[in-house]
């Protein structure tokens, strides 16, 4: 009964909202219009059509993208809003270079929790990962025959007017406050930034291949009250064997107690390659990259780009999401997204959580991934599963010694062979 009443109310509100928007068809959509349409259960194609017909009165930025994602927006809508925002924005004249003024601190986020911190309590100060894109309000297309449209229209109009006035006031305040607005580079400068940061990412990838480090992997399966129902844990040392080849040595692997999910080979590929995401100039042709904004993230300033694969080849895993690129070092300092594609067949489903990875400057030159967190709900056909995942990358050391590891066999598991590094698929 409660669900039916709720859906009926959403239908009434949505009908009233569309009536209100139709009455003001000459006005571009505001950010609050988009939010109300999402909360009202409007489908993505309908909202995209409205955006293309009416345009929008704001420019997309990472905070708005996250807000719309949380309200149920998919990547198609985010892309449509980004395009509309670029059309609506007036280019600001500037004679400054694309890089921002120097800053004193060079950390993309507050220090990650210590290794002793439990996964369930970890909370990096930079930002929390976005909720699942699947957590959307139920669609409401049922006719509202038993409602009073005029009353609903008035309530929606009042809400829209109230929210719009607050948004306008906040925008005015932000423009007036010094230091809140960062100049956007020109289209030519954006292309140059993309070429430079992907070239630096290639150098970083080559440099990281000369480092040893320790990786901690933990996945928790949570119940309806967020109680831990199952755990997967593994720890690896990334080392060099006597021939100079990079290998993994499993140093800790207690019994897996996961009940409703299984770790797959694609999950291991994600932990090795996709979650510590690197976008090099060699991989750039595989991705569509779009500029989203120039923002401050903690104590640095960064360019923000949307990343998505142009075409997904069978057997390959890709990253789809958003990256933050430090505007001085031109390296990725933060990434938020998920591995794609996901697998949906009658016999098998392989789903991945949305994650956030933070990097820190380790050697004064390159930004290394140090912490990955995911807190997401995976929507399988037989029911949702809430999981938390933590990856830590510690003890980075440049390998310069002539003495190499002779054996990668873990001392506590003498019968297990060495595990070679899995190449990026």
Low-confidence residues of the chain: pLDDT under 70: 1-26, 39-41, 88-181, 400-425
Angle (CA) 211 109 134, round 5°: 100
How many Å from the N-terminal Cα to the C-terminal Cα in the chain? 49
pLDDT of the residue at 100: 37
Query: Is-contact 210 384, C-beta < 8 A?
Result: no
**This prediction's pTM:** 0.59
pLDDT of the residue at 279: 97
pLDDT of the residue at 101: 33
pLDDT of the residue at 388: 97
Helix (H, G, I), strand (E, B) or coil at 314: coil
CA atoms within 13 A on the CB side of 31: 21
pLDDT of the residue at 72: 78
pLDDT of the residue at 308: 96
Q: What are the phi and psi torsion angles at 71 (to 5°)? A: -85, -5
pLDDT of the residue at 196: 97
């Amino acid at each position: 009964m409660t669900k039916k009443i709720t859906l009926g109310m959403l239908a009434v509100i949505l009908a009233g909202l569309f009536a209100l928007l139709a009455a003001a068809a000459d006005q571009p959509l505001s950010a609050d219009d988009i939010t109300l349409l999402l909360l009202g259960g409007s489908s993505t194609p309908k909202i995209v059509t409205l955006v293309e017909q009416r345009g929008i009165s704001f420019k997309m930025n990472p905070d708005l993208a996250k807000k719309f994602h949380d309200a149920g927006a998919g990547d198609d809508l985010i892309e449509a809003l980004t395009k509309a925002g670029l059309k609506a924005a007036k280019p600001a004249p500037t004679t400054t270079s694309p890089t921002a003024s120097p800053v004193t601190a060079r950390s993309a986020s507050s220090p990650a929790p210590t290794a002793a911190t439990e996964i369930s309590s970890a909370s990096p100060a930079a930002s929390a990962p976005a909720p699942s894109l699947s957590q959307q309000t139920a669609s409401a297309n049922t006719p509202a025959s038993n409602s009073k449209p005029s009353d609903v229209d008035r309530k929606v109009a009042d809400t829209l007017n109230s929210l719009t006035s607050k948004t306008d006031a906040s925008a005015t305040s932000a423009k007036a406050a010094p230091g809140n607005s960062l100049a956007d580079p020109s289209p030519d400068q954006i292309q140059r930034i993309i070429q430079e940061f992907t070239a630096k990412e290639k150098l970083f990838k080559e440099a990281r291949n000369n480092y040893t480090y320790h990786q901690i992997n933990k996945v928790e399966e949570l119940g309806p009250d967020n109680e831990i129902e199952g755990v997967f844990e593994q720890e690896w040392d990334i080392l060099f064997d006597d021939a100079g080849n990079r290998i993994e040595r499993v140093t800790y692997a207690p019994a897996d107690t996961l009940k409703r999910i299984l770790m797959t080979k694609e999950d291991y590929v994600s932990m090795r390659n996709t979650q510590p995401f690197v976008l090099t100039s060699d991989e750039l042709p595989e991705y569509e990259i779009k500029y989203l904004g120039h923002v401050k993230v903690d104590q640095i300033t960064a360019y923000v780009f949307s990343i998505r694969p142009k075409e997904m080849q069978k057997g390959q895993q890709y990253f789809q999401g958003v990256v933050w690129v430090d505007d001085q070092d031109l390296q990725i300092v933060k990434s938020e997204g998920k591995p794609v594609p996901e697998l949906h067949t009658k016999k098998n489903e392989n789903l991945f959580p949305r994650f956030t990875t933070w990097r820190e400057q380790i050697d004064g030159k390159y930004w290394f991934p140090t912490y990955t967190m995911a807190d997401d709900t995976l929507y399988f056909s037989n029911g949702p599963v809430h999981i938390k995942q933590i990856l830590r990358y510690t003890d980075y050391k440049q390998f310069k010694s002539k003495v190499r590891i002779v054996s990668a066999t873990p001392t506590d598991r003498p019968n297990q062979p060495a595990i070679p590094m899995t190449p990026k698929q």
